[in-house]
Amino acid sequence: MRALRKAEEANGTKISVVFTLSKNDDDKFLRSVASHIKLTFMLRQDYLFAVATTRTSASAADSAALIICGSVRRMVQQAAMLTSSKFASRVTELYNEGTRWIGVISELGSTPFDEAALWDVLRKSTQTLSHPSQPPAGARSAAHMLADARARLERISPSEAYAELSDPTTPMPIVLVDIRPDRYRSRWGGISGALVVDRAELEWAFDPQSDRRLEVASRYDLRVIVLDQDGTASSLAAAALQDLGLLHATDVIGGFAAWIDSGLPKAVQPSAFSRWQDEDDESSYE
């Protein structure tokens, strides 16, 4: 059986993901597969398998049945939960029988991501913690992640940020980006001239290779100064921009609160980037 041949071991548990052909009656077929797997591993080793059906006709390929079966109820339920999360609105649960879960997933197998996602689900579902209150190996706390991010940045004070944004001789294009939620700007105000970008969209907005990028994000020498309320989330955001290749990205120490406490104007020159755009436009006609 192909599911058994493809099996690998994760945390002492045999796992496998298989897409297999079924002409009809997916429910009966998948239950038969699950029973065969159970007999194979009975009393020998824990297992966790995901088996999905595929179709021969394109018209029927818009959905596929998936069974997750295993020797341990906890692992199956964890895998079912992660599957529902990874495939979000694409999943419809049909049966949940403890050590067997069957659902239908729309367009399952239409991209290489789907099989990789199921393998990830199974690997994570086999993990166990001897002390659930203790972090697993390799885990990093939020404070550790923040410290790592700041170690990579040359952070600047509000006064330094304002000076850069006001300097007409700055050697690189520069933009101030406010990533605070709307409710923060409604309560405490904002800075006129800053770009307002939702944190969830930041990487897409400033990746020069993204088809969702902002018009200003067309070059890797762009200096992005990230601003949040207190200078915490902005450090993680600036580090994420550096990961994209925007190596001049940084953030404001203390965030918007420190900006106001410093007595700085609540406005910056929006021309800090447009001047560079004008120069590029002129050079294109030379």
Buried b (16+ CB within 10 A) or exposed e, 190-208: bbebbbebebeebbbbbbe
What confidence score (pLDDT) does residue 5 get? 67
What are the residues whose beta carbons fall under 8 Å from the beta carbon of 102, sequence distance 6 or more? 27, 30, 31, 65, 66, 67, 68, 93, 94, 95, 96
| Helix (H), strand (E) at residue 148 | helix 142-152
Q: Are residues 157 and 251 in the same domain?
A: yes
Q: Are residues 153 and 117 in the same domain?
A: no
Q: Is the dihedral of CA 10, 12, 18, 23 positive or negative?
A: negative
Q: Are residues 230 and 168 in the same domain?
A: yes
Per-residue pLDDT tens for 233-249?
999 999 999 999 999 99
Residue 134 domain flag: no
What domain range is 40 assigned to?
A: 2-125
What confidence score (pLDDT) does residue 4 get? 63
Residue 136 domain flag: no
Instruction: Tell me which of 21 and 216 has the higher pLDDT.
Output: 216
Q: What is the pTM of this model?
A: 0.61
Q: Are residues 110 and 167 in the same domain?
A: no
Per-residue pLDDT tens for 198-211?
999 999 999 999 99
Q: Are residues 254 and 172 in the same domain?
A: yes
CATH classification at residue 12: 3.10.310.40
Residue 110 domain flag: yes
| Residue 158: pLDDT over 90 | yes
Task: Name the pairing type of β-strands 223-227 and 250-251.
Answer: parallel
Mean pLDDT of the chain: 85
Q: Are residues 173 and 264 in the same domain?
A: yes
Q: Are residues 259 and 171 in the same domain?
A: yes
| Final residue in a domain of this structure, among 79, 95, 125 | 125
Per-residue pLDDT tens for 3-14?
566 788 888 899
Residue 119 domain flag: yes
Q: Are residues 178 and 114 in the same domain?
A: no
Nearest alpha carbon to residue 11 among 47, 58, 62: 47
Residue 61 domain flag: yes
Q: Is the dihedral of CA 264, 182, 212, 244 positive or negative?
A: positive
What confidence score (pLDDT) does residue 90 get? 87
Q: Are residues 158 and 119 in the same domain?
A: no
Q: Is 56 exposed, middle or buried (0-12, 13-18, 19+ CB in 10 A)?
A: exposed
Question: 152 near 247, Cβ under 8 Å?
Answer: no
Q: Are residues 67 and 154 in the same domain?
A: no
| Residue 59: pLDDT over 50 | no
Residue 140 domain flag: no
Q: Are residues 192 and 94 in the same domain?
A: no
